[in-house]
Amino acid sequence: MKYGFFDDQACEYVITTPKTPLPWINYLGNKEFFTLISNTCGGYTFFKDAKLLRLTRYRYNNVPYDNNGKYFYIKDTTDSTNEVIWNPGWQPVKTALDSYECRHGLGYSKFTSTKNDVKAELLTFVPMNDNCEVSKITVTNNKNTAAKLSLFSYVEWCLWNADDDMKNFQRNLSIGEVEVVNGGSAIFHKTEYRERRNHYAVYGVNTAVDGFDTSRDAFLGAYNGPDSPDVVADGKCTGSIASGWSPIASQQINIELAPGESKTFIFTLGYIENPLDEKWEAPGVINKKRAFEMLDNYKTVEAVDKALAELNDYWKNLLTIYHVSSSNEKVDRMVNIWNQYQCMVTFNMSRSASYYESGIGRGMGFRDSCQDLLGFVHLIPDRARQRIIDIASTQFQDGSAYHQYQPLTKKGNSDIGSGFNDDPLWLIAGTSAYIRETGDLSILKEMVPFDNDMSVAKTLMEHLKCSFNFTATHKGPHGLPLIGRADWNDCLNLNCFSEHPGESFQTFGPSEGPVAESVFIAGMFVKYGEEYAQLAELLGDNAEAERARAEVKKVYDATCTAGWDGEWFVRAYDAYSNKVGSKECEEGQIYIEPQGFCVLAGIGVEEGLAAKALKSVEERLDTKYGVMIFQPAYTKYHLELGEVSSYPPGYKENGGIFCHNNPWVSIAETVLGHGNRAFEIYKKTCPAYIEDISEIHCTEPYVYSQMVAGKDAKFFGQGKNSWLTGTAAWTFVNISQYILGVYPTHNGLSINPCVPADFGDFSLTRKYRGATYNISVKQNGAEKGIKKLVVNGKEIEGNIIPYDESVKEYTVEAIMG
């Protein structure tokens, strides 16, 4: 069952009922000012850091689920015997609407609803060049009589630190402060500005207003929620000035509309920082100059439309960098629009703020951010460059790394510390992807601090060497890399041995053990060790490349011996040197990660192990909704395995379909030339392909979720944790670089598709290092293999179009067969 449809022309998903199985959200903002907005206008806003600078309050863990947002109330008093109060997004009043539509687009959301012949159109977006969210609301009277309406706005301020805001009531209920000017058309939230903050927030509207409120209790009534505000029921604001308790901003505009008449109002929610010496206008009065300048930018409909057009152009431009036209509209819409959009959202948010990540927990993950980069580096290479430097700056001198850092301070997070032994190698993955995309070797020569200490800075290449050496020198009894706290699978905690509830699996126990080893990290080492060797070669250091390859060879061999179980790759060795992910185990016999990653790294391809491993995956892990992380799921808690066995069977890392690693298996299939199977795996978790089962899948049909419940779970097929997942980057890498086969190498683009036999011909535009490549692929029913490659009229040898700085347009014909 569907709850909407894709409008590919407009690059929008159109939701046709507010009652989606879960809130279906969108992200607004491209630089530092961000909003999460649901299909019923729920959500919140923050500046840079969802924990430390939260502008508006949201209530996670509430009922109903999606509670608090930026709401508009329309009170229609035209017929005094039948007054009605409704919201364009249906929530929070939930008055049945005569029509409802929500369009989530690229960086904006639009709502159109009607009630009793009044139409409301609401457009909300964050403009490219200001720290604010603009909401344009147009109200139209379609009655054949004059309409009498009141429009009420409503935002609830968060007292900046979202964590403290939820806990520290003894202080916080006394600190709220506001200022109101121009009769209420601009309301300022200035809590803590009197002391150490030099920022405030403003909520303004481009018209004179008929009233305002800034105290939540005055607006709602002490015993009401946003679903039944007293003020709206009374039809009259009280002019309250908040002092402590919970400050809000609400404006009232009374509107009379002749039949057919429309009126438009523009509301702007902004964040302002003042220099220390310009904080005040008069004692106790905040300096509002910058706020008014910002509000002035969005005073007219023309200005708002222009700002929206800028945003649209920005996206239009970005989406020309990789664009495919095939006979398969679902592939086209995911590749050309939604998958790339989600990659950008993971760039902006990492794992911090979604409807499943509270914004107060994790900041930026080291491994997560490095992997996210693989999905957006082609879109925003300059920002990817900065991100790499930021991430590398949180590395330690021995190559290990803080597992997380806060985006505001860019400092490593000592609460969680280090010890996740896959982290160092992801830095190589991200850097290599950046250089293959841009050819910018200068990044390797940048001086980058360790643990943010510039006095011990070394070049980025030295950082990568530390990464490489960390794995090379931390190996266990079988010559396989030590796992530390965990590798990619945060929940496989082989050195943890936690016995008491409440202990964090991520931090309990030693960060390292001398025995527990990871075959997954071995696969990573083979893959990224080779990429490291290539970087050394590019810098002319052939001796280092040779040394690296010799180290890689050792791990490769250990993987094919100690890492091989007979029909598939072993997952790990635990602290007692027992196998994890082996036929010897009672549960958890075969894990997906080493099958996918070892094969995509090329391990066992020649030896015939790779094909066997993937066959085993198909036989033992496949389901109609995707490939499960392992089987059989753990039915009881295993002290020696940790969190992985803490989840009920079928959920999350305990036998769920962890979407992130499905593309690894799909890529692995392309390495073996299996286009049919690679695509089959791709389709199973691909949002556009499962739109029809939204009632089962539940999460947004335009983005990936981290997890879909596995076959052991009660709700098999149900998605959870949408948006902020490495699945976005990896599925984009899979479809764009492996299945459609346009892969950036150091020497130029390689063209080597691996598609299902009935995929058909397709064409692609790829902008790469300043040139445009117009590529057309004749498939001839082949799953893989390029028979002929013609570049600008000349046939070339091999698959790689040699990069030539002087050529700006390439016409490429690829003939498969």
Where do contacts with ligand GLC occur on this chain (CB under 6 A)?
351, 365, 367-368, 488-491, 506, 643, 652-653, 706, 725
Nearest CB to ligand GLC, comparing residues 367 and 463: 367
Nearest CB to ligand GLC, comparing residues 361 and 477: 361
The distance of closest approach from Cβ of residue 324 to ligand GLC in the complex, given in angstroms and rounded to an integer, is 27
Nearest residue to ligand GLC by CB is 490
317 in the Ramachandran plot: left (φ > 0), alpha (ψ -120 to 50) or beta?
alpha
Nearest CB to ligand GLC, comparing residues 294 and 601: 601
The distance of closest approach from Cβ of residue 402 to ligand GLC in the complex, given in angstroms and rounded to an integer, is 13
Helix ranges (DSSP H) in 454-541: 460-473, 519-538
Nearest CB to ligand GLC, comparing residues 101 and 653: 653
Which residues lie closer than 8 Å to 236 by C-beta, 6 or more apart? 211, 252
Amino acid found at 537: E
The tokens for 133 are 């969210």
Nearest CB to ligand GLC, comparing residues 200 and 664: 664
Looking at 584-718, which runs of residues are DSSP E strands? Answer: 590-591, 622-623, 626-627, 630-631, 657-658, 705-708
The distance of closest approach from Cβ of residue 701 to ligand GLC in the complex, given in angstroms and rounded to an integer, is 21
CA gap 104, 737 in Å, rounded? 27
Quickly tell me which residue has 């095939």 as its tokens.
Answer: 326
CA torsion 382-386-387-393 (nearest 10°) is: 160
Angle at the Cα of 11 from the Cα atoms of 322 and 326, rounded to 5 degrees: 50
For 426, the enclosing helix (H) or strand (E) is: helix 423-438
The distance of closest approach from Cβ of residue 284 to ligand GLC in the complex, given in angstroms and rounded to an integer, is 44
756 in helix, strand or coil?
A: coil
Annotated catalytic sites, by residue?
490
Report how far apart, in Å, the C-alpha atoms of 810 and of each of 751, 770, 772, 774, 813 are.
13, 11, 6, 6, 10
Which residues lie closer than 8 Å to 780 by C-beta, 6 or more apart? 787, 815, 816, 817
The distance of closest approach from Cβ of residue 159 to ligand GLC in the complex, given in angstroms and rounded to an integer, is 26
The distance of closest approach from Cβ of residue 366 to ligand GLC in the complex, given in angstroms and rounded to an integer, is 9
The distance of closest approach from Cβ of residue 691 to ligand GLC in the complex, given in angstroms and rounded to an integer, is 23
Q: Which of 18, 20, 27 is nearest to 719 (CA)?
A: 20
Helix ranges (DSSP H) in 476-602: 519-538, 542-561, 592-600
Report how far apart, in Å, the C-alpha atoms of 674 and of each of 511, 611, 671 are.
40, 10, 8
Amino acid found at 280: W
CA gap 31, 126 in Å, rounded? 10
Nearest CB to ligand GLC, comparing residues 133 and 643: 643
Exposed e or buried b per residue across 800-810, where buried means at least 16 C-beta atoms within 10 angstroms of its C-beta: bbebeeeeeeb
Question: What is the largest distance, in Å, between two alpha-carbon atoms of the chain?
Answer: 88
Q: Which of 115, 100, 174 is nearest to 147 (CA)?
A: 115
The distance of closest approach from Cβ of residue 357 to ligand GLC in the complex, given in angstroms and rounded to an integer, is 9
The distance of closest approach from Cβ of residue 653 to ligand GLC in the complex, given in angstroms and rounded to an integer, is 5
Report how far apart, in Å, the C-alpha atoms of 183 and of each of 237, 253, 299 are.
12, 12, 17
Q: How far apart are the first and last CA of the chain?
A: 39
Nearest CB to ligand GLC, comparing residues 154 and 528: 528
The distance of closest approach from Cβ of residue 687 to ligand GLC in the complex, given in angstroms and rounded to an integer, is 17
Q: Which of 810, 762, 812, 802 is nearest to 782 (CA)?
A: 762
Nearest CB to ligand GLC, comparing residues 387 and 652: 652
Nearest CB to ligand GLC, comparing residues 486 and 558: 486
DSSP state of 541: -
The tokens for 285 are 């009065």
The tokens for 325 are 């036209």
The distance of closest approach from Cβ of residue 392 to ligand GLC in the complex, given in angstroms and rounded to an integer, is 18
The tokens for 747 are 């020497």
Q: Which of 427, 456, 319, 459 is nearest to 379 (CA)?
A: 319
CA gap 436, 607 in Å, rounded? 29
CA gap 128, 311 in Å, rounded? 6
Nearest CB to ligand GLC, comparing residues 413 and 725: 725
Nearest CB to ligand GLC, comparing residues 114 and 721: 721
